[in-house]
């Protein structure tokens, strides 16, 4: 993959961050919309640009684990173990916050989320900037995350002055989030790093997240959604429903995995990679592409119920949440229980 970002771009972007401006930048998971995490006014610009409620906390991105102490306190040994094993990389740790962390970053909670991304452009930017960069995914609130610089432009137009283009994000879905603010670590958001990998590194099982676990906006039921209703189902049902909806004069898009394309006139068909890495890498770009096709529904073939697909199934079910209601008034949805 090429990274068309020059040293000059990095120096300029870091200066913009220091001046309190927003900078969108690539990470290995998805693009982030960054601001100086120590500057409350700058952080507020993120919420305004995204249309995100201000009580939803942001992840602070730093160049290396040494900077943990600038943001967190009472860091437990297991958090260091996770940092050693998975940083830089697609893992976010939620820790007890240090008193210097602005409330705007934490949404007023007593914890802070921290990540050391591995993408070379993110690394270069964080090194040049020197401090922490608060950054949510670079999409408007509730929408599909951006995995290319062009997606960021689609979301924000010119309201974000600087978008660093580091190519298509490798992982393609947001980082795994682990709560390390309590006695035993627990998974708050599944991602490319699986619970099994975390447990292997920890040498102990993760705790089930309790009712008192920190809030994660990515765990809102409806999130990561295209405008077009998304319906998630098994492959044979995809074909059946595609036939039946087209017969009713509806325009249908399909994100298929193993199912072969049926001969249906006007059907918008996208074959997703069969492996989880490839699927995750392309997922959001595919959803955006199918969303642009102005269909009445996007039918998605459900990936298998296996550990390696956990994060992808999580994002798909959130993209689909709330959609079935819209279409369920149209027969034959009643009978199909979707
Ligand atoms: O891969 C990623 O994590 C990307 C890239 C840009 O790093 N970022 C990302 O940020 O996905 P965002 O804001 O879209 O999702 C971060 C999630 C949110 O659901 C937020 O609620 C949660 O992290 N979060 C942030 N701080 C937290 C905290 N102190 N406690 C619990 N959850 C927190
Ligand atoms: Mg997000």
- The predicted-structure confidence for 243-255, as pLDDT tens digits, reads as follows 999 999 999 999 9
Q: Is 223 in the pocket of ligand 1 (CB under 6 A)?
A: no
In percent, the amount of the chain with pLDDT more than 90 equals 84
Which CATH superfamily does the domain covering 7-202 fall into?
DHBP synthase (3.90.870.10)
pLDDT at 92: 98
Query: Which pLDDT belongs to residue 94?
Result: 98
Residue 221 has pLDDT above 60, yes or no: no
Atom of ligand 1 nearest to the CA of 177: 23
Q: Is residue 218 in contact with ligand 1, taking CB distance under 6 Å?
A: yes
What 3-state DSSP class applies to 140? coil
Task: With CA atoms as reference, report the closest residue to 187 among 53, 317, 56, 310.
Answer: 310
Do residues 27 and 33 touch, judged by C-beta distance below 8 A? no
Identify the band that residue 3 occupies on the pLDDT scale cut at 50, 70 and 90: low
User: Residue range 110-116: average pLDDT?
Assistant: 98
Least confident of 17-21, 216-220, 273-277, 293-297: 216-220
pLDDT confidence of residue 4: 76
- Per domain, the residue ranges of the chain are 7-202, 230-320
User: What pLDDT, on the 0 to 100 scale, is given for residue 55?
Assistant: 87
Cα of first residue to Cα of last residue in the chain, in angstroms, is: 39
The answer to whether residues 139 and 52 touch, using CB atoms and an 8 Å cutoff, is no
In the three-class reduction of DSSP (H, G, I as helix; E, B as strand; rest coil), residue 309 is classed as: helix
Angstrom CA distances, 149 to 132, 191, 228, 308, stand at: 21, 21, 22, 27
Q: Is residue 332's pLDDT more than 50?
A: no
Tell me whether strands 59-61 and 133-134 are parallel, antiparallel or unpaired.
antiparallel
CB 330 within 8 A of CB 248: yes
Q: Give the residue, 54 or 215, on which the prediction is more confident.
A: 54
Q: Give the DSSP letter of residue 66.
A: G
How far lies 244's CA from each of 250, 251, 330, in Å? 9, 11, 11
> 180: CA distance to ligand 2 center in Å?
20
**Position 85 confidence tier, pLDDT thresholds 50, 70, 90:** very high
- Round to whole Å and give the CA distance between 226 and 171: 19
Which has the minimum average pLDDT: 73-87, 165-179, 205-219?
Answer: 205-219
How far apart are the CA of 338 and the centre of ligand 1, in A? 30
Taking the centre of ligand 2 as the mean of its atom positions, its distance from the CA of residue 312, in whole angstroms, is 14
Mean pLDDT of 181-188: 96
Pick the CATH number of 230-320 from 3.20.20.70, 3.30.460.80, 3.40.50.11030, 3.30.1120.10: 3.40.50.11030
DSSP string spanning 147-165?
-SHHHHHHHHGGGSSEE--
CB 104 within 8 A of CB 49: no
User: What does the CA dihedral 206, 210, 215, 220 come to, rounded to 10 degrees?
Assistant: 90
Q: How confident is the model at residue 241 (pLDDT cuts 50, 70, 90)?
A: very high
With a 6 A CB cut-off, is 180 part of the ligand 1 pocket? no
- Whose CA is closest to atom 22 on ligand 1? 216
Phi, psi of 41 (to 5 degrees): -65, -40
CA distance 275 to 240: 24
Q: Determine how many CB atoms are found less than 10 A away from the CB of residue 326.
A: 14
Instruction: Give me 27's structure tokens.
Output: 């990470």
C-alpha 218 – ligand 1 centre gap (Å): 7
In a 10 Å sphere around its CB, with 0-12 CB exposed, 13-18 middle and 19+ buried, how is residue 80 labelled?
A: middle
Asked whether the beta carbons of 116 and 63 are under 8 A apart, the reply is yes
Give residue 208's pLDDT band: very low, low, confident or very high (50, 70, 90). confident
* 156 close to 40: Cβ distance less than 8 angstroms: no
Could you tell me the two tokens for 114? 């921290």
Which atom of ligand 1 lies nearest, measured to the CA of 175? 1
| pLDDT band at 220; cut points 50, 70, 90 | low
**What is the residue with the minimal CA distance to atom 15 of ligand 1?**
136
Least confident of 22-26, 57-61, 216-220, 267-271: 216-220
- Report the atom number in ligand 1 closest to the C-alpha of 109: 29
Residue 331 has a pLDDT of 44
Name the average pLDDT for the chain.
91
More confident residue, 200 or 219: 200
DSSP annotation of 81 reads H
What's the mean pLDDT in 124-134? 98
- Give which of 97, 121, 122 is closest to 107, Cα–Cα: 97
- Residue 118 has a CB neighbour count (10 Å cut-off) of 18
Q: What ranges in the chain are assigned the alpha helix state H? A: 7-18, 40-50, 68-71, 77-86, 103-106, 120-129, 149-156, 195-202, 235-247, 276-292, 310-320, 323-327, 333-336
Any atom of ligand 1 within 6 Å of the Cβ of 214: yes
- What is the 141 CA–ligand 2 centroid distance (Å)? 7
pLDDT digits (tens, 9 = 90+) for 271-304: 999 999 999 999 999 999 999 999 999 999 999 9
Q: How much is the average pLDDT of 105-122?
A: 97
Q: Which residue has the tokens 């940092």?
A: 83
């Amino acid at each position: 993959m090429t990274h068309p970002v020059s040293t000059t771009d990095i120096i300029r972007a870091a200066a913009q961050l220091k001046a309190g401006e927003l900078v969108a930048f690539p990470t290995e998971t998805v693009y982030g919309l960054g601001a100086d995490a120590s500057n409350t006014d700058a952080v507020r610009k993120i919420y305004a640009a995204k249309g995100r409620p201000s009580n939803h906390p942001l992840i602070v991105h730093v160049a290396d684990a040494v900077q943990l102490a600038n943001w967190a306190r009472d860091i437990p040994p297991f958090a260091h173990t996770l940092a050693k094993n998975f940083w830089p990389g697609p893992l976010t740790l939620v820790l007890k916050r240090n008193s210097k962390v602005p409330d705007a970053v934490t949404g007023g909670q007593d914890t802070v989320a921290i990540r050391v991304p591995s993408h070379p452009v993110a690394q270069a930017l964080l090194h040049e900037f020197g401090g922490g960069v608060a950054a949510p995914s670079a999409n408007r609130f509730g929408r599909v995350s951006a995995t290319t610089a062009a997606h960021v432009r689609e979301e924000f137009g010119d309201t974000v002055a600087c978008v660093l283009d580091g190519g298509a994000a490798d992982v393609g879905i947001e980082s795994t989030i682990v709560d390390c603010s309590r006695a035993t670590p627990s998974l708050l958001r599944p991602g490319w790093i699986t619970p099994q990998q975390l447990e292997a590194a920890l040498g102990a099982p993760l705790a089930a997240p309790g009712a008192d676990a920190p809030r994660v906006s990515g765990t809102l039921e409806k999130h990561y959604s295209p405008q077009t209703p998304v319906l998630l189902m098994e492959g044979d049902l995809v074909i059946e429903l595609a036939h039946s909806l087209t017969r009713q004069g509806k325009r249908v898009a399909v994100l298929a995995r193993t199912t072969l394309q049926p001969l249906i006139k006007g059907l918008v068909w996208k074959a997703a990679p069969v492996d989880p890495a490839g699927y995750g890498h392309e997922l959001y770009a595919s959803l955006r592409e199918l969303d642009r096709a102005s269909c009445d529904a996007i039918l998605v073939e459900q990936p298998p119920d296996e550990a390696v697909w956990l994060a992808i199934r999580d994002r798909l079910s959130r993209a689909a949440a709330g959609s079935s209601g819209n279409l369920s008034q149209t027969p034959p949805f009643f009978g199909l229980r979707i």
